[in-house]
Each structure stands twice: as structure tokens, then as C-alpha cells.
Amino acid sequence: MTTTTGIRPYRIEIAQSGLDDLDRRLAATRWPAELPGTGWERGVPLGYLKELADYWRTSYDWRKHEAALNELPHFMTEIDGQNIHFVHVRSADPDATPLLLVHGWPGSFVEFVDVIGPLTDPQGHGSPGAPAFHVVIPSTPGFGFSGPTRQAGWHTRRVAQAFAELMSRLDYDKYGVQGGDLGALIAPDMGRIDGDHVIGVHVNAATVGFIPFGPVDDAMQGELSDVERERIARRDAFLTEGNGYFQMHATRPQTIAYSLADSPVGQLAWIVEKFKEWTHGDLPEDSVDRDRILTNVAIYWFTGTPGSAAGMYYENMHSGLWPTPSTTPTGVAVFAEDIAIRRYAEQGNNIVHWSDFDTGGHFAALETPDLLVADVRTFFGSVRS
């Protein structure tokens, strides 16, 4: 690979003063009252969050996880006036396919830590003969170590353009893209704007462009399968009971930013609620390792990015942009908590691969990494051939 310019090595180094400040704030938390006999239906229960916050303060070891993350090769570059942090791990296989992995909210690049080895070194991870990948895992602008966005207008289409430039800087002429949540908006947009170079797009936790927009009339309801009706019901439940965060992010991100930037417990509650609601278990740690959840939350806290991360929803909702039809080969993995429906996805995407799973949820790379890796291998193996 030729030498690139504008890319420098990066190391995660949170100052001790930042850790001390976090400890003080956690210890001084002003806890709210709670009605007796309530559970998760009103939000994160007080007892659960107190225990988790105490674990964060007294047992969780940031330095241990920081050191583990620093075993990966991190880099930083600037594109379109914005710092972009990324992890870049090349496979030893000369025929490996370059693959960009894109996270959403409330995730970060740490979502993909467990899939790096199996994707880059299938032989060493029990899958001889499986296709290998060079992986590039950026922190989405406005998230994590990419830092807060510096100007308005960083919607998912602009991020897609920046990530296409990133892959060009890395001298990858042909590459694939995988993404979930906001990443399932960014990845298809990369296929649209960089179709000469994107060989395929794989998504999970897909919504916009992969589900019906608006009510489904009685006639169409009669044509749907039981599985499709269940997904419509989950979509409707989300719109009535689960999208309060979305409305805040999409309309008043600066207002919520003050609370999230000032209170680590507020940031913890804002994120851990989604790990409860969007995973396939009774509690978040039933599906995702508790320390991994806290590492993810800590990255938002230490980088001061909760407001800019929320702001991407505002940018999307005020951009006037809408997905246009795409000819890029597209694969979809639908886990148990997802709501994508093929008949709607096919209206604007070139669907060539579709997998339905009866387990897993929104954070597939964290919950069911083996299933996600296998599906990614199958899809990109087909579009390469």
C-alpha cells in the first residue's frame, strides 16, 4: 500500500485529572425520587442505576480497557474540516477485501472489537478458507475520538462522503461497507455516492429505507406475513413509547447536551436504557458485557461528544435529504429485535442477500458477533465472485 498523507498515528490517553473528575461526579450524584413498585417501563430503575454507577466508580478499570484498546492500531486524519479517528487492521491475506465498519448511536468503534480478529484472520479464528478482510473502523464525526463536530451540516450523507474520502486516502479502490443504526444510513449512502468503488453494502438494525414510512393500510396488512406484522407492531410500539430520545436528538440536541455533558450518571442512564430496550435479554448485561457497555459510555463522557452525537439526528431531520434508489448490491441481516422488512427494502435498494435471525438485537457486533461475521462473510463472498 502506498504511503498516504494527512494520516497520523493516534493513541488513547485520558488524563488522570479526567478520571479523578469522573470519580468525584459519580460520588456526588444527586439521585432522583422513584415511585414504589415501578420497573423499566418509566425508564431506568433507581436501584439498578445506583448499583451500576457504583460499579463504574469502584470496580470498573478504565486504564485496563484503555490499554486493551491501544493494542489496536489507531489513526487520525482531517476530512472536510473535521477530525476523524479510525482503527485500521490489515489482514495478512493478500486477497482480503477492504471493509469499512460503521457504528451508530449510542455506539462507538468499540462495538466492533470482537469481530476484528475473525474478519482479518479467519484461519486463526477457526474458519479456514473463509474470506478475509482489511477492516477500517472510524469514529463517526461528532462521536468519540473524532471529537465534537465543528460546524453544522454533518448529516449522514456528509459522513458518507467523508468516509469515501477516507477509503481513498487508504488507497482502497474497491471496498465493502457494513453498518448498523445510523451506520445503516451511512453505508447505503456510500453505495450511492461512491458506487464505482463500493462493491457491496451490508446492514443490520436498518430502519429508514428498509421499513414502511407511515401507516400500513388494511389491504397491505392482509398481505403481510406474521413475521412482517410483528415487525410493524414493534415499529409502532417504538414510535409511541420508545422514541423520546429521538425527538430530543432531532429537535433540541443542545438542550439535552447540557445534562449529558455535566452528569456521568445522566449519560449512563441515557445510553444504558437503550442497551436494555434494544437487546435480546432482560437486562443489558444479559446480552452485552457490562465492562464493554461502560467503556462505550466512558468514551462519550471523556470526549465530550453527547451533544454532537445527538446532533446528527437534528442534521438528518433538517437536511431535506431522503434515500434515493440504489443499485449497489445490498445485504441485510435482521436480528430478533430489528424491524427491517424485505418488500419495503427492495423498493429502494438492490437486495441480493437477506438473513432473518431469531436471536440478537440492535448491537449485533456486541451481542452475536459470530452470527454477524458469518453473514458478512457470506454476503461479501457472493458479491466478490
The dihedral through the CA atoms of 361, 364, 370, 372 has a sign that is positive
Name the residue with cell 457490562. 290
Which residues, in sequence order, are CB contacts of 106 under 8 Å at separation 6+? 270, 271, 274, 275, 296, 300, 309
CB atoms within 10 A of CB 181: 23
The dihedral through the CA atoms of 112, 117, 123, 124 has a sign that is negative
Cell of 62: 478504565
CA 142 to chain centre: 13
b/e map 61-88, b = 16+ CB within 10 Å: ebeebbeebeebebbbbebeebbbbbbb
Q: Is 362 a catalytic residue?
A: yes
Distance CA 128, CA 16 (A): 43
CA 29 to chain centre: 29
**Which residue among the candidates 313, 314, 338, 344 is catalytic per the annotation?**
313
3-state secondary structure of 77: strand
**Which residue among the candidates 300, 344, 362, 375 is catalytic per the annotation?**
362
Virtual torsion, Cα 188, 192, 197, 202, nearest 10 deg: 20
Q: Is 313 a catalytic residue?
A: yes
CA separation, residue 267 to residues 70, 87, 369 (Å):
24, 25, 26
Q: Is 175 a catalytic residue?
A: no
Distance CA 136, CA 166 (A): 9
**Which residue among the candidates 121, 181, 291, 375 is catalytic per the annotation?**
181
Which residues are part of the catalytic machinery?
A: 181, 313, 362
